[in-house]
Amino acid sequence: MKKNFSRIQRINQQVMQELAGILHRDMKDPRLGMVTVTSVEVSKDLSFAKVYVTFFTQEGIETTDQLKILNTASAYIRTLVASRVKLRVTPELRFVHDASLEQGMRMSALTSAAVMQDEEKNQRFNLGETE
């Protein structure tokens, strides 16, 4: 019988849950704002973890600045993860901006605009108007 989840997938899930809690409760830097962990990819040898995050943007603070803050604090965050997740090796954390949410919202807006234009053209056609 095939395994549903590999060890790495379970570690990814556990590290993601702990990081979400740490970033929500333990990070006191007001420049960060609200940070959401969307996924975590731990390498097979558990030496590195790529953490994908999204930010609730604040006025005057760029995403790149928020990423720098997180990457600067990664050693502290790593020690908190090590105390909560029992692994022989705690991975080094690298934070990366996940733009998929923004891209999804942009695609949704484009789709909605195209549908509205199509409906307007159909209404004009049904009323007998020509372009």
Min mean pLDDT across 20-34, 70-84, 97-111 is at 97-111
Taking only the tens place, the pLDDT of each residue in 61-83 is 778 888 898 999 999 999 999 99
pTM of the predicted protein model: 0.72
Q: Scanning the structure block, which residue is given the tokens 């909560």? A: 84
- The share of the chain scoring above pLDDT 70, in percent, equals 89
At residue 44, the 3 state secondary structure works out as coil
- Record the tokens describing residue 66, joined without a space: 């928020």
